[in-house]
């Protein structure tokens, strides 16, 4: 499989499989890569350079994005560190639905909202997540 630059059509990296599921792309330079619809389930993207990469409809479940450079990446939002664990929260769009990944949580924005609503009132992290949900809705509206 070839990973190509979406602007120049040049090959950025070749991998020996037909999917990136579980691939070790740690520290890879994927600037401008067209990763639309890529199966990145469980891929190690720790420290990868994803500047300007198009991640529309990419499957990011269990992907390790720790330390990844997402500057200018399309269709992904990272927020953090936040919450009681001081973790990062990632939002991506897959099949016209927003998905949230933080810690071991990976589900729709709607499911995330539901999980947050179950937290106790007065919990500082509940308030923080409620505000972040509003922010996500505003920012991700332009992805439509």
Into how many domains does the chain fold?
2
Domain that holds residue 45: 1-74
The reply to whether 67 falls in a domain is yes
Whether residues 83 and 143 fall in one domain = yes
How many residues in total does the chain contain? Answer: 144
The reply to whether 16 falls in a domain is yes
The reply to whether 95 falls in a domain is no
Rounded to two decimals, the pTM is 0.75
Whether residues 47 and 84 fall in one domain = no
The reply to whether 94 falls in a domain is no
Residue 98 and residue 17: Cα distance in Å, rounded? 28
Range 106-137 burial, b when 16+ CB lie within 10 A, else e: beebeebeeebeeeeeeeeeeeebeebbeebe
Residue 109 has what DSSP assignment? H
CATH number, domain of 33, equals: 2.160.20.80
Task: Inform me whether the pLDDT recorded for 107 exceeds 90.
Answer: yes
Percentage of the chain lying above the pLDDT 70 cut: 95
Whether residues 132 and 105 fall in one domain = yes
Whether residues 144 and 119 fall in one domain = yes
Please give the pLDDT value at position 126: 93
Task: Inform me whether the pLDDT recorded for 80 exceeds 70.
Answer: yes
Rounded average pLDDT over 82-96: 88
Whether residues 1 and 53 fall in one domain = yes
Whether residues 48 and 10 fall in one domain = yes
Whether residues 3 and 52 fall in one domain = yes
pLDDT-derived band at 17 (thresholds 50, 70, 90) equals low
Task: Inform me whether the pLDDT recorded for 4 exceeds 80.
Answer: no
């Amino acid at each position: 499989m070839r990973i190509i630059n979406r602007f120049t059509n040049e090959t950025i990296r070749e991998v020996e499989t037909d999917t990136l599921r579980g691939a070790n792309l740690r520290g890879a330079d994927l600037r401008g890569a067209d990763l639309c619809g890529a199966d990145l389930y469980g891929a190690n993207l720790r420290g990868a350079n994803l500047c300007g990469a198009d991640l529309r409809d990419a499957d990011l479940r269990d992907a390790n994005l720790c330390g990844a450079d997402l500057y200018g990446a399309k269709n992904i939002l990272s927020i953090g560190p936040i919450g009681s664990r001081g973790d990062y929260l990632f939002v991506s769009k897959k099949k016209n639905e927003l998905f949230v990944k933080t810690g071991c949580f990976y589900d729709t924005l709607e499911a995330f909202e539901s999980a947050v609503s179950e937290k106790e009132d007065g919990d500082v992290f509940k308030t923080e997540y409620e505000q972040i949900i509003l922010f996500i809705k505003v920012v991700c509206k332009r992805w439509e």
